Chain A
Amino acid sequence: MTRHILQVFVYELRRNLRRKGFLFTTFGIPLLGFILFYGYQAVNNLTSQNADSDPAAEIIGSDQFQNINRAGYVDLSGLFPEPGTDLKAILTPYPDEASAKAALEAGEVDVYYVIPPDYLETGDVTLVMPKFSLGQATDAPIRQLILSHLAEDVNQDVFYRLVDPTNIREINLQRDATGETASNFDADFIVVYVFALALMMSVFVTNGYLMQTIIEEKETRLIEILISDMPPTQLLAGKILALGLLGLLQIVVWVTALTLLANVATGNAIPTLAAIANISLPPDRVLLLLVYFIFGYLFFAAAYGMVSAISTTMQEGPQYAVIFTLPAVIPLYFLGLFIESPDAALPTFLSIFPVTSPMGMVMRISITTVPAWQILLSLALLVTLDVVMIWLAGRMFRVNTLLAGQTPKLRDIPKLLGG
């Protein structure tokens, strides 16, 4: 009996492991993540090497003005007569708008700014461009000019703080009772989003393949030869085990890649990348992620098995599957709420309710310490639902349904389940 399950398992494992789609999602996505990470870092390093070493320049704004090589300005306020040595190469003062316009038309400057007489009261500055260009629509050169003049007499430290008063480091006591783990919104967002997405993507990708193989067997009628060798439930079991293992492999590869990325991101000066370093992946949470993957996968495998049993074409299957997939991703619609108040009533409910719990609980455990009773209750409900779903799938995945040439009507479904 188990021989056939094992043979189907081995075959499906081999066949699906070679799918280009599976290889890309499993290994390609993390690889892409690393490429993007190093690419972003490399570009950033290059930019900062070229940048002025003056920290004031970083705070005031980059002196690399992208698409503006030279700019003119007309100062009608009389506050900024000279651009200063740093900006001389870029900014040219003009006595009036006519001469600035003439310089623009002659191509001597790319754009020019007009600082009105009441600048100090209003803060208004006009930018004149020969034509609209997003790259040139910047206040960077004039901002640098204004700040350097206005801050001339201010103590430099006070000036930096005026420009950038806070550099917040959060301690999330809810996330870590010891209060020792630094966290910030960026990192929390990435963890919640990545974990939830990884879980669901893996569940949907592998179960999508499950559905594809079954419907293909029905479409080609190979199913009749297969079920003349073994009971349909053994065929389904072999497939579910193989694709479940592939899904687990996918999750393990992704979590490993994320851990590696977090390690290489440590100490990174770029804020977004540094946020990745803040991602903490304690083993108990990874274990829970895997547990929720397994039971979440089983729920969908049974659901997809049922859907495949009644679908006759590849177009039909995914349409019916939406009945199960749509409710399961409800927690994603409340992503903000999960991050801000992971222990609020709705996130708690969604993490315990069996259809939404795989995604909901994974989102909560990744940013907060969930009480053990909630995890146990959630798992107990999920396992119960799995048992019910597998029983239903077994009832549905039978000869009469599999060999039927057409999709049963909705009113026939209870008869199929019962008969």
Chain B
Amino acid sequence: MQPDTAICVEHVSKSYGSFRAVSDLSFEVYRGEIFAMLGPNGSGKTTTMRMILDILKPDTGTITVLGGPLTDATKDKIGYLPEERGLYRNVRVLEMMEYLGTLKGLSTAEARRRSQAMLERLDLAEHAKKKVNELSKGMQQKIQFAVTVLHDPELIIIDEPFSGLDPVNTLALKDLLLEFRQKGGTVVMSTHQMWQVEEMADRLLMIHQGQQKLYGAVDAIRQQYALHAIVVEGQGDWKTLPGVERVELTENGRKAALLHLAPQTTTDEVLAAIALNKNMSIERFELAVPSLNDIFIRVVEDER
């Protein structure tokens, strides 16, 4: 385990009756990073999160969080937002936040002070005295996030943070998560929205049927799945280029083409050849790196 490790999961398995939800899973989450957990529904993401939080006990394996096994003191340094989340309906916003803040070890006065400050920041100060059920869904979601970070945790674990959010609130939550990381916080999130992972996450873990399929830095994984090919848009007969073995037209009617290169050919050589060829012009030239979505689908389909 590295000194900057926030979570260390080692050979963890968990079954519900005969169903194996998580199978021999091992990974680490580093401090100060946004770590994404990906996987289709029922792949074991939520079970893994619950085991990290000690809500569920693993059948085998060990989990250390913030330097040791999970204690009450460690739990106070974690914020958790489950996928299906809610608040008491008939309780005033401020009172609700105060209560959940005190459960995380804050004094009542400190919890109130922080709740008020947080509500100010989220432009919800005027709703402090309102009951939760009087607020819109978007407001409630903001408050749920506010409660998660109220006690200034070192680590937050969020299951599907963007599910059910409209674009404005998605952006607001994304900003809050990025700001949290900027201040040194660690974020573990699970999501189906791959583009969010591409944009935000530093590293990822992809689970399928309870087993680890992909694990590492987002860029490295995309490179790993990159084809030895180039995407180009422009004019010219791409087949005539030296080192191009096969040309594949892509992107539904647009002018883009996927140039499959011979094993020894480098992208620089192809770019140079295009530049020297007067019958060719390019508007776009990039490595054929697949999106996480493509990788996700490939991994899942390979399994089938």
Q: How far is the CA of A222 from the CA of B89 in the complex (A)?
A: 10
Chain B residues near A11 (CB, 8 Å)? Answer: 99, 102
The answer to whether A7 and B85 have CB atoms under 8 Å apart is no
Seed contacts A7-B103, A221-B86, A228-B78; 6 additional CB < 8 Å A-B pairs: A216-B88, A220-B88, A222-B86, A225-B80, A228-B54, A228-B55
The answer to whether A225 and B89 have CB atoms under 8 Å apart is no
Chain B residues near A15 (CB, 8 Å)? Answer: 91
The answer to whether B103 and A220 have CB atoms under 8 Å apart is no
Instruction: Mark B76-87 against chain A: 1 for CB-CB distance below 8 A, else 0.
Output: 001011101111
The answer to whether A224 and B55 have CB atoms under 8 Å apart is yes
Q: Is A229 an interface residue (CB 8 A)?
A: yes
Q: Is A150 an interface residue (CB 8 A)?
A: no
Chain B residues near A7 (CB, 8 Å)? Answer: 99, 102-103
- B256 nearest CB across to chain A (Å): 45
Q: Is A3 an interface residue (CB 8 A)?
A: yes
Chain A residues near B117 (CB, 8 Å)? Answer: none
Q: Is B131 an interface residue (CB 8 A)?
A: no
Q: Is B114 an interface residue (CB 8 A)?
A: no
Q: Is A4 an interface residue (CB 8 A)?
A: yes
The answer to whether B103 and A230 have CB atoms under 8 Å apart is yes
Please provide the chain A residues from 208 to 228 with a CB less than 8 Å away from any CB of chain B in the complex. Answer: 216-217, 219-222, 224-228
The answer to whether A228 and B53 have CB atoms under 8 Å apart is yes
Chain A contact-residue range equals 20 to 34
The answer to whether B87 and A228 have CB atoms under 8 Å apart is no
The answer to whether B99 and A399 have CB atoms under 8 Å apart is no
Q: Is A372 an interface residue (CB 8 A)?
A: no
Chain A residues near B103 (CB, 8 Å)? Answer: 4, 7, 226, 229-230
The answer to whether A228 and B84 have CB atoms under 8 Å apart is no
Q: How far is the CA of A399 from the CA of B55 in the complex (A)?
A: 7
Q: How far is the CA of A229 from the CA of B157 in the complex (A)?
A: 13
The answer to whether B104 and A229 have CB atoms under 8 Å apart is yes
Chain B residues near A229 (CB, 8 Å)? Answer: 75, 103-104
Residue of A nearest to B99 (CB): A11
Contacts A224-B55, A225-B100 given; indicate if A3 touches B88 (C-beta within 8 A).
no
Q: Is B199 an interface residue (CB 8 A)?
A: no
3 nearest A-B pairs in the assembled complex, by CB-CB distance = A220-B86, A221-B84, A224-B82
The answer to whether B88 and A222 have CB atoms under 8 Å apart is yes
Q: How far is the CA of A27 from the CA of B102 in the complex (A)?
A: 31
Residue of B nearest to A217 (CB): B88
Residue of A nearest to B96 (CB): A222
The answer to whether B72 and A224 have CB atoms under 8 Å apart is no
The answer to whether B80 and A3 have CB atoms under 8 Å apart is no
Q: How far is the CA of A399 from the CA of B85 in the complex (A)?
A: 16
Residue of A nearest to B78 (CB): A228
Q: Is B56 an interface residue (CB 8 A)?
A: yes
Chain A residues near B82 (CB, 8 Å)? Answer: 221, 224-225, 228
Please provide the chain B residues from 51 to 99 with a CB less than 8 Å away from any CB of chain A in the complex. Answer: 53-56, 72, 75, 78, 80-82, 84-89, 91, 99
Instruction: Mark A218-252 against chain B: 1 for CB-CB distance below 8 A, else 0.
Output: 01111011111110000000000000000000000
Residue of A nearest to B84 (CB): A221
Chain B residues near A221 (CB, 8 Å)? Answer: 82, 84-86
- A313 nearest CB across to chain B (Å): 14
Q: How far is the CA of A230 from the CA of B71 in the complex (A)?
A: 10
Q: How far is the CA of A221 from the CA of B86 in the complex (A)?
A: 5
Chain B residues near A226 (CB, 8 Å)? Answer: 103
The answer to whether A222 and B53 have CB atoms under 8 Å apart is no
Chain A residues near B50 (CB, 8 Å)? Answer: 399
- B45 nearest CB across to chain A (Å): 14
Instruction: Mark B279-301 against chain A: 1 for CB-CB distance below 8 A, else 0.
Output: 00000000000000000000000
The answer to whether A222 and B87 have CB atoms under 8 Å apart is yes
The answer to whether A228 and B80 have CB atoms under 8 Å apart is yes
The 13 listed contacts between A and B (C-beta, < 8 Å) are: A3-B72, A7-B99, A7-B103, A11-B99, A15-B91, A216-B89, A220-B87, A221-B84, A224-B85, A225-B85, A227-B55, A228-B75, A399-B50
Q: Is A46 an interface residue (CB 8 A)?
A: no
Chain B residues near A219 (CB, 8 Å)? Answer: 86
Selected contact of A224 from candidates B16, B75, B84, B88, CB within 8 Å? B84
Q: Is A168 an interface residue (CB 8 A)?
A: no
Instruction: Mark A381-414 against chain B: 1 for CB-CB distance below 8 A, else 0.
Output: 0000000000000000001100100000000000
Q: Is A1 an interface residue (CB 8 A)?
A: yes
Chain A residues near B55 (CB, 8 Å)? Answer: 224, 227-228, 399, 403
Chain A residues near B88 (CB, 8 Å)? Answer: 216-217, 220, 222
Residue of B nearest to A19 (CB): B90
Residue of B nearest to A227 (CB): B55
